[in-house]
Amino acid sequence: MINVAFILGSLAFAEIYGEESLYAVAADGRVLAAPCTPTKLRLAPPPWLRDVEVLFSGWDGPRLDAEMLARMPRLRAVLYGAGSIRTIATDACWDRDIVFSSAAALNALPVVEFTLGAILLSFKRVWHHARHVREQRAYDPLRPLPASTGAGATIGLFSLGLIGRGVAERLRALDVTVLAHDPTLPPETFAEIGARPVTLEALFARSDIVSLHTPLLESTRGIVDRRLLDRMKPNATFINTARGGILRQDDLIDFLAARPDVQAILDVTEPEPPPRESQLYDLPNVALTPHIAGSVGPECRRLGRAMVGEFHRYARGEPLRYAVTRQQHACMA
DSSP for 242-261, written as a single string: S-GGGB-HHHHHHHHHH-TT
Query: What does DSSP say about strands 263-266 and 54-57: parallel, antiparallel, or unpaired?
Result: unpaired
In the chain the first and final C-alpha atoms are separated, in Å, by: 34
272 part of the active site: yes
What whole-number distance in Å separates Cα of residue 315 and Cα of residue 303? 19
Residues forming a β-bridge with 99: 77
- CA torsion sign for 213, 215, 216, 217 is negative
Yes or no: say if 231 and 262 are a contact pair by the CB < 8 Å rule. no
Angle between helices 126-136 and 104-123 (to 10 degrees): 60
Q: How many residues does the chain have?
A: 333
Phi, psi of 60 (to 5 degrees): 65, 35
Rounded to whole angstroms, the Cα distance separating 323 from 78 reads 10
Q: Which amino acid is at 217?
A: L
Decide if 151 contacts 205 (C-beta within 8 A). Answer: no
Sheet strand arrangement including 77-80: 29-36, 2-7, 54-57, 77-80, 99-102, 323-324
DSSP 51: G
Catalytic residue among 125, 165, 213, 243: 243
What's phi and psi for 167, nearest 5 deg? Answer: -65, -45
Q: 328, exposed or middle or buried, with CB in 10 Å at 0-12, 13-18, 19+?
A: middle
The single residue of 86, 96, 231, 291 carrying the catalytic annotation is 291
Please report the beta strands in 259-317, taking only residues with DSSP state E, as ranges in sequence order. 263-266, 286-288
Q: Which residues are tagged catalytic?
A: 243, 272, 291
